[in-house]
Amino acid sequence: MHEHASGHIGCFNPSGSLDFWISDMTYEYYLRVIRGAVSAAWDFGISLVLYSGGPQRCEETLDRIAGSENLKGVIILGDWFNQGVLRKISAWGIPAAAVGCSVSDRISSVSQDHRLGGYLAAEHLIKRGHGRIAYIGQADDPVSDSGRFAGYLDALKHHGIAADPRLWVSAPFAEGGGRRAMNKLLARERDFSAAVFFSDNLFYECFEVMSSMGLRVPEDIGAVGFDDTLRSICSSPALTTVHSPLEEMGRRAVEIVTEQNPCAALQVQHEVLPVYLVQRET
Tell me: do 27 and 38 sit in the same domain: yes
Q: Residue 232, SS3?
A: helix
Peptide bond into 237 cis (omega under 30): yes
Tell me: do 178 and 216 sit in the same domain: yes
Q: Residue 113, SS3?
A: coil
- Domain of 209: which CATH number? 3.40.50.2300
Q: What's the domain count of the chain? A: 2
**pLDDT reported for residue 190:** 77
Closest by CA to 155, choosing from 135, 141, 185, 140, is 135
3-class SS string, 26-80? HHHHHHHHHHHHHHHHHHHCCEEEEEECCHHHHHHHHHHHCCCCCEEEEEEECCC
Whole domain around residue 134: which residue ranges?
114-243
How far lies 36's CA from each of 3, 30, 32, 39, 246, in Å?
Answer: 20, 10, 6, 5, 7
Contact 81, 103 (CB under 8 A): yes
Contact 221, 210 (CB under 8 A): yes
Tell me: do 73 and 33 sit in the same domain: yes
Strand runs labelled E in the chain: 8-13, 47-52, 71-77, 96-99, 108-112, 133-138, 168-171, 194-197, 222-227, 241-243, 270-273, 276-278
How many CA atoms lie less than 13 Å away from 211 in the CB half-sphere? Answer: 8
Contact 247, 39 (CB under 8 A): yes
Q: Residue 208, SS3?
A: helix
Tell me: do 164 and 178 sit in the same domain: yes
Query: Is 279 within the bounds of a domain?
Result: no
Query: Is 125 within the bounds of a domain?
Result: yes
Closest by CA to 29, choosing from 189, 157, 199, is 199
**pLDDT reported for residue 263:** 59
Query: Is 104 within the bounds of a domain?
Result: yes
Tell me: do 155 and 235 sit in the same domain: yes
**Cα(63)–Cα(233) distance, integer angstroms:** 42
**pLDDT reported for residue 49:** 79
**pLDDT reported for residue 96:** 87
Query: Is 3 within the bounds of a domain?
Result: no
Query: Is 281 within the bounds of a domain?
Result: no
Tell me: do 118 and 108 sit in the same domain: no
**Cα(62)–Cα(57) distance, integer angstroms:** 9
CB-count exposure of residue 142 (10 Å: 0-12, 13-18, 19+): middle
**pLDDT reported for residue 152:** 97
Tell me: do 118 and 224 sit in the same domain: yes
Tell me: do 239 and 120 sit in the same domain: yes
Tell me: do 100 and 127 sit in the same domain: no
Hey, how many other C-beta atoms are within 10 angstroms of the C-beta on 170? 17
Tell me: do 137 and 258 sit in the same domain: no
Tell me: do 118 and 31 sit in the same domain: no
Tell me: do 125 and 143 sit in the same domain: yes
Query: Is 138 within the bounds of a domain?
Result: yes
Strand partners for 100:
none
The stretches in the chain having pLDDT less than 50 are: 1-5, 19-26
The amino acid sitting at 79 is: D
